[in-house]
Amino acid sequence: MKIYIFLVVFFFIENFSYSQFKTKYPEIPRIDVHIHISDVDKVPNYIRVRDTLLSKYNVNFAFWITLEAINKPINSPDSISNAADGRMLCAFADYKPHLGLNHTAEYFEKKKSEGFIGYKFWFGSYYRVLKNGEIGIKDIDDPRLDSVFSNAEKSGVTMLSLHIADPNGPYGNRLDCIQDPVFFWRQIRSFENVLIKHPKLKVIAAHCLWLICQDAQIDYLRYMLNQYPNLYIDLAATFQYYYLDNTANLRDFMIKYSDRILYGTDSGGIKSDEVENIALRYSKTFRILETDEMVNGAFWGKDRAIKGLNLPKEVLENIYYKNAIRLYPNLKSSFRP
């Protein structure tokens, strides 16, 4: 009986303290550079998440970049922005590697003039979308894809949240996506060939370029950011894997490269009854970045204990909004805290 009472009390304290998270930094606005919605009627629930984050967690969630819902082009970036009370900008996207094959420089110019701020290219792991060897493009440095990068480079279009490879964990815990480390590294190396060939191309790589699920991968990420000054990364959908890393290493990495890292979640459409839960999931990512507490779960994935990184304020400012304002076309003029 005593143990039972203890457990009940412990459960309440645990949950009570959990819901009590309030940011230490209400003055820092946050931008999510990686969400996926295409429909105007899906926008208002993001504003409700913003309201909930403010009232419950003291968080000022200021702005979003939508990369379109998968295979659902946005027709009017202006109508998305209007529905979001001016707090959302749009990229245009291709969610199969071969869809970019015929993009000319004129096509990129046209998209820019329609109000899109960049191009989201999804390369994958190709086999997730190109079944049965469809068209046979297996590496992002395939010469047939070269025109995508040259034309984006020529027209000054930023590659927003470009997705390469998938998570590859350490031996014994390879995770579900890529079991084969040789395939994983082939994807990373072929992406590096693209950067070598297109030094002026500005790329924000999605998901920390997936070099975030092993400590040695973080070292390679250090090398990539050192080597390629036009390369940046977003944090979307990575938080749930931080338990695989040495916390001090990850923290050191984020501090040193804070001017190259952007906050993101990979959030999609939000239903009305999901607003509270999405706000809670956002709050977990802030808690991971801002505190040194053990955080139960992240935005995605299983509820697993993740040690907070307790990042300094200047680092958080860079990651949460300063880098995005500096890098993303039109953001400076559209942004308000």
Can you give the binding site for Zn ion, defined by CB under 5 A? 266
DSSP character string of 220-263: HHHHHHHH-TTEEEE-TTTGGGGGGS-HHHHHHHHHHTGGGEE-
Alpha-carbon span 263 to 38, nearest angstrom: 20
Give the DSSP H/E element, type plus range, for residue 62: strand 60-66
Instruction: Name the minimum Å distance from CB 167 to Zn ion.
Output: 13
151 vs 265 by CB, closer to Zn ion: 265
Instruction: Name the minimum Å distance from CB 128 to Zn ion.
Output: 13
Instruction: Name the minimum Å distance from CB 21 to Zn ion.
Output: 25
93 vs 319 by CB, closer to Zn ion: 93
The runs of H, that is alpha helices, within the chain are 2-19, 44-57, 77-83, 105-113, 146-154, 181-197, 215-227, 247-256, 275-290, 313-317, 323-327, 331-334
Helix (H, G, I), strand (E, B) or coil at 164: strand
Q: Which residue has the tokens 């919605």?
A: 37
Instruction: Name the minimum Å distance from CB 268 to Zn ion.
Output: 8
166 vs 266 by CB, closer to Zn ion: 266
Give the DSSP H/E element, type plus range, for residue 155: none
Instruction: Name the minimum Å distance from CB 4 to Zn ion.
Output: 44
Give the DSSP H/E element, type plus range, for residue 294: strand 294-296
267 vs 318 by CB, closer to Zn ion: 267
100 vs 308 by CB, closer to Zn ion: 100
Which residues neighbour 238 within 8 Å (Cβ) at sequence distance 6 or greater?
Answer: 207, 208, 212
235 vs 275 by CB, closer to Zn ion: 235
Q: Which residue has the tokens 């071969």?
A: 98
Q: How many CB atoms lie within 10 A of CB 60?
A: 18
Residue with nearest beta carbon to Zn ion = 266
Alpha-carbon span 190 to 145, nearest angstrom: 12
Instruction: Name the minimum Å distance from CB 6 to Zn ion.
Output: 43
Which residues neighbour 96 within 8 Å (Cβ) at sequence distance 6 or greater?
Answer: 71, 122, 129, 130
Instruction: Name the minimum Å distance from CB 94 to Zn ion.
Output: 13
Alpha-carbon span 266 to 14, nearest angstrom: 28
266 vs 290 by CB, closer to Zn ion: 266
What does DSSP say about strands 92-94 and 119-124: parallel, antiparallel, or unpaired? parallel
142 vs 266 by CB, closer to Zn ion: 266
Instruction: Name the minimum Å distance from CB 64 to Zn ion.
Output: 13
Instruction: Name the minimum Å distance from CB 122 to Zn ion.
Output: 8
57 vs 126 by CB, closer to Zn ion: 126
Q: How many CB atoms lie within 10 A of CB 166?
A: 19
